[in-house]
């Protein structure tokens, strides 16, 4: 994707059987899991470990920065001290991008809640977004002497878990999460550990976000993406089903259903853009899906192909689709854009989108000069960066023409489930075609949009082709950002609020779900 789009977040969990050798190295595996899920969040990282041999049964460390920055791997001595200090037999971990709450250290996860009773002393982290966050927060604040310290759904989840753990008897965790499923609306995969050493991971009832696990030689590893588990040498990798919970207690691993999955709604964007290309989600390879998207896009091509045409995929997420698109048309796919992989989070990247494009990409003029470029990208959300990318390819690359080919259908509506685009006004396509709930495309709108982006033409993928490429029924996918068909009640109400604000010309300065009440 030419412009960065972010999601909240990635979670990991590790249980190592107590064999007297490697059982205290859970943090090492959490580090590897998080490192291989860096694509899911670069704002902060953190972890909680458990060790029955220390007074601090649970110990949490979290900070702003990439995984390697948080784990201090640029300093061998400091990193070794961190791994030694937080060694444990069980651990959870998290990488974050803020779609709710501030970009501060105190918002980094996991969150830890201290208590004298060990089952009430827990830490947790989650991936997703509570759509009814504002309503849940207000319900808590109505109670006498109740106080909330952070403006984030993570703290709300912590309070609701704590309420379920109230009382003098340790509750059944399956029942705890069953009760929470009746209250929470949205996407919420949770990894949790308590001071008894119980380890828990759950996937939300709708399955909007992916969650994978592997059990081998008595060890359990859980991660948001399968490629992270593969990096740890795991081979028997499975997806946790929507509404399922996987638990480790007293050395026994169990998988149970905690909530009915009334509607499976896997996020199509996980295959299109977010997930690592080597991952597998619910038995669907991300690479194969992107390859099929390129093939389906080629079938829509109307440009008369000549020897002047070359395909340039926007690195890196559009590479598989771009190569397949080019192969289907019988024309070369070239690396006319090179991504600088050593440019990460930096305060010197430049204040303008044009500066950011030049820092992130280098054009190869020798490849692009005088060519008619078919620029394949996975999606267009706000369009600002893509506009500068088209200009960059023409001005610096010397391309004669640039034709945009987008493997995802137009983003017409906001996302309320963990992708950082929650208002209609920030999206580019509705400004040309305001019919957010219509799947058909307006050709005049497309021509005007291409012209404003500086491109010679634009072709979008269709929703039927997208569904075909993923290979799951339409009823089992979340396509809310494409056709406003949201899978949860509060998601539908959030869209109504966002649409009303947009139709009345209101400029939304806050995310829709943060400003909303009473879903």
How many Å is the maximal CA-CA distance in the chain?
A: 76
Residues 32 and 140 reside in one and the same domain:
yes
Answer yes or no: are the C-beta atoms of 5 and 408 closer than 8 Å.
no
Q: Both tokens of residue 432? A: 């040309």
Question: Which pLDDT value is given to residue 301?
Answer: 97
Cis peptide before 450 (omega within 30 of 0): no
Size of the chain in residues:
519
Q: Both tokens of residue 162? A: 């704590």
- Cα separation, 447 vs 436, in Å, equals 18
C-alpha distances in Å from residue 294, one per residue of 271, 320, 379, 424, 517: 13, 7, 12, 27, 41
CATH code where residue 304 lies: 3.40.50.2020
Backbone angles phi, psi at 300, to 5 degrees: -95, -5
Residues 95 and 19 reside in one and the same domain:
yes
> Does 3 reside within a domain?
no
> Does 255 reside within a domain?
yes
C-alpha distances in Å from residue 311, one per residue of 292, 300, 357: 16, 15, 19
Residues 123 and 242 reside in one and the same domain:
yes
Residues 55 and 92 reside in one and the same domain:
yes
Query: CA gyration radius for the chain?
Result: 23
> Does 201 reside within a domain?
yes
Residues 325 and 431 reside in one and the same domain:
yes
> Could you list the pLDDT tens digit for every one of the 519 residues in the chain?
555 555 569 999 999 987 665 568 999 999 999 999 999 998 999 999 999 999 999 999 999 999 999 999 999 999 999 999 999 999 999 999 865 556 789 899 999 999 999 999 999 999 999 999 999 999 999 988 889 999 899 999 999 999 999 999 999 999 999 999 999 999 999 999 999 999 999 999 999 999 999 999 899 999 999 999 999 999 999 999 999 999 999 889 999 999 999 899 999 999 999 999 999 999 999 999 999 999 999 999 999 999 999 999 999 899 999 999 999 999 999 999 998 877 654 434 445 667 778 888 999 999 999 999 999 999 999 998 899 999 999 999 999 999 999 999 999 999 999 988 889 999 999 999 988 777 889 999 999 999 999 999 999 999 999 999 999 999 999 999 999 999 999 999 999 999 999 998 887 666 665 655 555
pLDDT in tens, 167-199: 999 999 999 999 999 999 999 999 999 999 999
- The domain boundary residue, chosen from 228, 262, 296: 262
For the residues of 34-67, what is the DSSP string, one character each? Answer: HHTTGGG--SEEEEEEE-TTSSSSEEEEEEES-H
> Does 182 reside within a domain?
yes
Alpha helices by DSSP H, listed for 242-382, are 268-269, 286-298, 319-329, 353-360, 365-368
Which of the following is catalytic: 9, 125, 232, 490?
Answer: 9
Residues 298 and 153 reside in one and the same domain:
no
> Does 299 reside within a domain?
yes
- Cα separation, 216 vs 43, in Å, equals 32
Handedness of CA 320, 321, 322, 325 (dihedral sign): positive
- The domain boundary residue, chosen from 262, 297, 319: 262
Question: Which pLDDT value is given to residue 240?
Answer: 98
> Does 253 reside within a domain?
yes
Residues 258 and 298 reside in one and the same domain:
no
- Is 9 part of the annotated catalytic residue set? yes
> Does 254 reside within a domain?
yes
- The domain boundary residue, chosen from 210, 244, 262: 262
Q: Which helix (H) or strand (E) holds 207?
A: none
> Does 275 reside within a domain?
no
Closest CA to 184 of 414, 489, 481: 489
Q: Which helix (H) or strand (E) holds 89?
A: none
Residues 249 and 300 reside in one and the same domain:
no
* CA atoms within 13 A of residue 144's CA, in its CB half-sphere: 0
pTM of the model: 0.93
Question: Which pLDDT value is given to residue 427?
Answer: 95
Coil, helix or strand at residue 161: helix
Helix, strand, coil shares of the chain, percent, nearest 5, are 35, 25, 45
Residues 255 and 390 reside in one and the same domain:
no
Residues 26 and 82 reside in one and the same domain:
yes
Q: Which helix (H) or strand (E) holds 174?
A: helix 173-181
Answer yes or no: are the C-beta atoms of 345 and 376 closer than 8 Å.
no
- Cα separation, 338 vs 451, in Å, equals 25
Residues 24 and 72 reside in one and the same domain:
yes
pLDDT in tens, 282-337: 999 999 999 999 999 999 999 999 999 999 999 989 999 999 999 999 999 999 99
Residues 257 and 142 reside in one and the same domain:
yes
Question: Which pLDDT value is given to residue 300?
Answer: 97
For residue 127, list its beta bridge partners. 189
Closest CA to 43 of 113, 109, 123: 109
Number of domains forming the structure of the chain: 2
Angle between helices 353-360 and 384-395 (to 10 degrees): 60
Domain span holding position 346: 288-515
CATH code where residue 158 lies: 3.60.20.10
């Amino acid at each position: 994707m030419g412009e960065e789009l972010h999601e909240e977040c990635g979670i990991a969990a590790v249980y190592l059987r107590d064999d007297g050798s490697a059982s205290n190295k859970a943090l090492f595996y959490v580090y590897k899991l998080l490192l291989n899920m860096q694509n899911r969040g670069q704002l902060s990282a953190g972890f909680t470990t458990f060790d029955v041999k220390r007074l601090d049964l649970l110990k949490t460390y979290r900070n702003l920065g990439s995984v390697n920055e948080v784990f201090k791997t640029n300093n061998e001595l400091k990193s070794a001290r961190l791994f030694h200090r937080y060694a444990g037999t069980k651990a959870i971990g998290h990488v974050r991008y803020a779609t709710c709450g501030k970009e501060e250290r105190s918002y980094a996860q996991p969150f830890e809640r201290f208590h004298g009773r060990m089952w009430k002393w827990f830490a947790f982290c989650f991936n997703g977004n509570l759509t009814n966050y504002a309503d849940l927060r207000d319900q808590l604040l109505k109670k006498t002497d109740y106080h909330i310290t952070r403006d984030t759904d993570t703290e709300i989840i912590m309070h609701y878990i704590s309420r379920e753990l109230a009382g003098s008897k340790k509750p059944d965790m399956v029942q705890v999460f069953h009760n929470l499923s009746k209250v929470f609306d949205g996407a919420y995969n949770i990894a949790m550990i308590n001071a008894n050493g119980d380890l828990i991971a759950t996937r939300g009832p709708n399955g909007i976000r992916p969650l994978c696990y592997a059990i081998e030689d008595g060890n359990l590893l859980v991660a948001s993406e399968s490629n992270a588990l593969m990096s740890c040498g795991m081979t028997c990798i499975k997806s946790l089903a929507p509404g399922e919970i996987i638990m480790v207690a007293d050395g026994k691993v169990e998988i149970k259903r905690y909530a009915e999955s009334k509607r499976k709604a896997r996020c199509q964007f996980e295959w299109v853009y977010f997930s690592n290309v080597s991952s597998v989600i619910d038995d669907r390879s991300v690479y194969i899906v992107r390859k099929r998207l390129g093939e389906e896009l080629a079938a829509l091509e109307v440009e008369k192909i000549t020897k002047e045409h070359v395909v340039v995929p926007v690195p890196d997420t559009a590479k598989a689709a771009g190569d397949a698109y080019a192969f289907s048309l019988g024309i070369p796919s070239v690396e006319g854009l090179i991504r600088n992989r050593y440019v990460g989070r930096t305060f010197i990247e430049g204040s303008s989108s044009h500066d950011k494009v030049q820092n992130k990409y280098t054009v190869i003029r020798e490849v692009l000069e005088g060519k008619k470029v078919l620029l394949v990208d996975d999606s267009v959300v706000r369009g600002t960066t893509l506009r500068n990318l088209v200009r960059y390819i023409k001005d610096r690359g010397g391309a004669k023409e640039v034709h945009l080919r987008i493997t995802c259908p137009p983003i017409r509506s906001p996302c309320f489930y963990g992708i950082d685009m929650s208002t209609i006004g920030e999206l580019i396509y509705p400004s040309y075609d305001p019919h957010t709930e219509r799947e058909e495309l307006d050709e005049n709108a497309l021509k005007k949009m291409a012209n404003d982006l500086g491109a010679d033409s634009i072709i979008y993928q269709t929703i039927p082709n997208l569904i075909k490429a993923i290979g799951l029924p339409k009823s089992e996918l979340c396509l809310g950002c494409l056709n406003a068909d949201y899978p949860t009640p509060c998601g539908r109400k959030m869209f109504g609020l966002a649409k009303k604000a947009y139709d009345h010309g209101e400029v939304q300065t806050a995310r829709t779900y943060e400003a909303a009440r009473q879903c």
